[in-house]
A and B are shown apart, each in its own frame.
Chain A
Amino acid sequence: DGGITQSPKYLFRKEGQNVTLSCEQNLNHDAMYWYRQDPGQGLRLIYYSQIVNDFQKGDIAEGYSVSREKKESFPLTVTSAQKNPTAFYLCASSIDGSGRTDTQYFGPGTRLTVL
């Protein structure tokens, strides 16, 4: 079955620790995205990547970092510099980032809680 997987589903972290959220897709999509969602809010773009070895900052990139070494994988690191990291993190992919429809397919999300 093709799709996007995110792990872990729930993640707890102590203040001051970096943590990496995994996102893998086997849809052969070129473009991948990371969003943050706070309770009752919309999705805010953290980073996106249109192609391997390239990525761009979104609206709220501060305190986050990404890499795109493989087409299938787009891990997100939440660093200690992120002041309020507790949130629901969603990874998505689309066929490519230049298409007009740009339909995005989302993973199940990782709920990060900072203790």
Chain B
Amino acid sequence: GQSLEQPSEVTAVEGAIVQINCTYQTSGFYGLSWYQQHDGGAPTFLSYNALDGLEETGRFSSFLSRSDSYGYLLLQELQMKDSASYFCAVRSDTGRRALTFGSGTRLQVQP
């Protein structure tokens, strides 16, 4: 099976940089995805890493180290609207063809 660990809560101030870590255990590995969910809303896709290294999309970047079974989401120039929950998710290349999500990290951006 798959399991993921991420911090339950992170707090930062506007304009700062924050890093949300994710470690995973899986029997096979395709890639690591990140989703954002505002309170009461639906998750939306942010980024995907299949290979080691950093992927940048505007203010958001995501990093993967396959050898360490570890990844992180980096949010720069934080804005109040970034306050949300962030989920990492893995897709295994064996067995079930569906994502397994972490329990989420709640990010609170303060003025």
A binding-site residues for B, Cβ under 8 Å: 31, 33, 35, 40-45, 48, 50, 56, 58, 90, 92, 97-98, 100-109
Interface residue B102 (Cβ < 8 Å from any Cβ of A): yes
Partner of A103, one of B33, B97, B101: B33
Contact indicator B99/A107 (Cβ below 8 Å): no
B binding-site residues for A, Cβ under 8 Å: 30-31, 33, 35, 41-45, 48, 50, 87, 91, 96-104, 106
Bound-state Cα–Cα, A97 to B98, Å:
7
Q: Given A90-B43, A109-B42, A103 and B48 touching (CB < 8 A)?
A: yes
Contact indicator B42/A108 (Cβ below 8 Å): yes
Bound-state Cα–Cα, A31 to B99, Å:
12
Partner of A101, one of B44, B48, B103: B48
Q: Given A100-B30, A102-B91, A56 and B45 touching (CB < 8 A)?
A: no
Find the A residue at minimum CB distance from B9: A40
Contact indicator B48/A90 (Cβ below 8 Å): no
Q: Given A41-B104, A100-B30, A101-B31, A106 and B98 touching (CB < 8 A)?
A: no
- Residues on B with beta carbons closer than 8 Å to the beta carbon of A97: 97-98
- Residues on B with beta carbons closer than 8 Å to the beta carbon of A56: 96, 98
Contact indicator B42/A90 (Cβ below 8 Å): yes
Contact indicator A43/B101 (Cβ below 8 Å): yes
